[in-house]
Amino acid sequence: MLMSRKVIVFGVDGLMMPLIKKFVAEGALPHIKRMLDGGAAGELLPNISAWGDVNWVAFLSGQSPGTSWLGQSQPTAYKDSGNLLEKLEQQGLRAALVHFPESISAPAPHFTLAPYWASAAPCPFTFATPAIFTTRYGERNAPRDPPQQTLGWPPSSPLAYHEKGLWQPIENHQLHIQSARTDAIPLSLQHSAGQLYIHYQQRAVELKRDEWSDWLPLGDVAEGGAVRFWLAAWQPETSLIEVIQSEITYPQRLGSDALVTQALIDNFGPFFSQWAIKASPKEAYRASTLQDAEHQSLWMANSALHLTHDHGYALWIGVHHLVDESHHLCLGQYDPQSPFFRADEADAYVAVMRECYQVLDRSIGHILDHMDEQTTLLLASDHGDVPNEYMCDINRYLAQLGLVTYDAADKPLPQQSQVYLKDARGGLEIFINLKGRESQGVVAPAEFEQVRNKVIDALNRWQIDQRAAVAWVLRKEDAASIGYWGDEAGDVLFTYNTGFVWGTSREGSAICPVSAPGANHGPQKPSAETEHSANYGVLLAYGAGIRQNYYRDRQRFGPYRMIDPAATIATLLGVATERLDGTVMHDFLAPL
């Protein structure tokens, strides 16, 4: 049988080369070491903001943000885009996107499943989010002091801490699955002969300590969805029971092709993308997340093999998120650059990150062991992470200069401000509220440059502890050098220095030290790095058409950009590269 060329891109949110090298040297990542020894590798320079949405869109489209990115959850038009997906279709090839950002269009003949959902609205394919049920609900759900700071973009986002807060009560041996789609679903707990069971209608699953149960079908109420449980604690003598519930998804709402979606579920079980417990050494039930995330990671690995080898897709790409969560929650206590580093605690935090990298490593090993000789495997990331040191509230700072107006509830009022930022654009682009362009513009065209110069001067002067908050500032007309142009781009683009992160504080500070440990990527310059971490993304390539035992030294040759892999994928698949902005990564390819 004649085998066709195919490319699997196993995307990993936040995967960084400093930790890959560390864990490989320790012998903890044997399968990723196999990729390094038998393939080609290097780092990728992210776009601003250095977060997943814009960078994965650039990665897959092969086009700079000025062409390919409208904003978070705002896909550009597909037809006549000239991007990689359209070129594949023109060549008679198909791509499968599994849990990939929804900010890129991939209509038929391509296939999408469970696009990464970033909207505040309920996810359309989620019936119920994960939860933790407890007989000690009052204790577990006791009010906590609100955090001193909220880090992330938009300003209301708790992104940096991955807070979940999903406690639900067990009362009278009953628990109720909460769904935004329907009334709560009652289930009962029963124990018999020293075993604990959860019953729903005529079905039951046995609960085992520190293990996930079998899947329990929920029938028509969840349109064929199923749930499983992890017994975290059971002390009959004290009546303590704590049970973790998985995410529940609607099977037939997950994918763009019902038959392909059902084939995946039939072969590999339900798909889910969320877990209930943070990947942190402070979490007693962290093992549930590691097991949950490994299930999802292997599900994705199996779908990659199945869709490329059995369904004829030339390209598979998906993104797994566990590694990035571990960075947000652990890097700030591992990296000595962090103000919260403690030598006696660092081992516990790096151990969690190592566990998360090992989950990934096992999935990579599964793909390597089962892919055919005509397959190229790319292990890639959109950015890395570096520790937080200072919080920056850009709206508050601009308000001090009279450029932003706040309402009575202490929220920015874009329509009454001279400048504003857009939630969907990543927090590093400032727009002048220009009359004649904006629906409620307040800045006269004759004052445009005066206001813009005031913004640029203010950003260049923003400091704390004799450290500049902002790494660089550009007018839109000068931003083509970083891949930004067009009507969607801000009038001023900037990025924060290493260690500076966007956020808000309860005290209303414009800039101050962070109040809690953590790490971020989006606001900090794409080249941010310390001795132990870096904001660069990664690309490891292995298999058909790939050079062996090659590492590109970015200090000597420079890094590749997020737009370069698409041109390289096109070359591997025999597709033309015109209208792609990226460069073919020739030094990664095997000699002809």
Q: What is the pLDDT of residues 50-72, one digit of tens each?
A: 999 999 999 999 999 999 999 99
Report the pLDDT value the prediction gives residue 1, as an integer from 0 to 100.
Answer: 39
Contact 242, 137 (CB under 8 A): no
d(CA 294, CA 272) in angstroms, rounded, equals 11
- Provide mean pLDDT across the span 97-102: 96
Question: Residue 40 above 70 pLDDT?
Answer: yes
Work out the number of other CB atoms within 10 angstroms of the CB of residue 546.
23
Tell me the helix, strand and coil percentages in the chain, rounded to 5.
Answer: 30, 25, 45
CA nearest neighbour of 382 among 59, 151, 139: 59
Mean pLDDT for all residues in the chain: 95
Question: Residue 488 above 70 pLDDT?
Answer: yes
Going from the N-terminus, what domains does the chain have, and what CATH number goes with each?
6-116+311-384+532-588 (3.40.720.10), 126-253 (no CATH), 390-516 (3.30.1360)
Angle CA 432–436–438, to nearest 5 = 50
Q: What is the pLDDT of residues 433-486, one digit of tens each?
A: 999 999 999 999 999 999 999 999 999 999 999 999 999 999 999 999 999 999
Q: Percentage of the chain surpassing pLDDT 90? A: 92
Q: Residue 262 is encoded by which pair of tokens?
A: 């059902």
Contact 45, 562 (CB under 8 A): yes
d(CA 589, CA 250) in angstroms, rounded, equals 41
Task: Give me the residue label for tokens 């950002």.
Answer: 101
Q: Is 258 helix (H, G, I), strand (E, B) or coil?
A: helix
Task: Give me the residue label for tokens 């864990």.
Answer: 23
Q: Which residue has the higher pLDDT, 166 or 126?
A: 126
Report the pLDDT value the prediction gives residue 534, as an integer from 0 to 100.
Answer: 98
Question: Residue 144 above 90 pLDDT?
Answer: no
Q: Residue 373 is encoded by which pair of tokens?
A: 């000789």
Report the pLDDT value the prediction gives residue 163, as an integer from 0 to 100.
Answer: 64
CA separation, residue 102 to residues 57, 123, 127, 307 (Å)? 9, 12, 19, 20
Contact 499, 471 (CB under 8 A): no
192 confidence band (pLDDT: 50, 70, 90): confident
- Provide mean pLDDT across the span 26-50: 98
Q: Which residues pair with 132 in a beta bridge?
A: 167, 244
588 confidence band (pLDDT: 50, 70, 90): very high
CA nearest neighbour of 423 among 23, 73, 18: 73
d(CA 190, CA 199) in angstroms, rounded, equals 8
d(CA 271, CA 525) in angstroms, rounded, equals 35
Contact 581, 64 (CB under 8 A): yes
Q: What is the pLDDT of residues 357-403, one digit of tens each?
A: 999 999 999 999 999 999 999 999 999 999 999 999 999 999 999 99
162 confidence band (pLDDT: 50, 70, 90): low
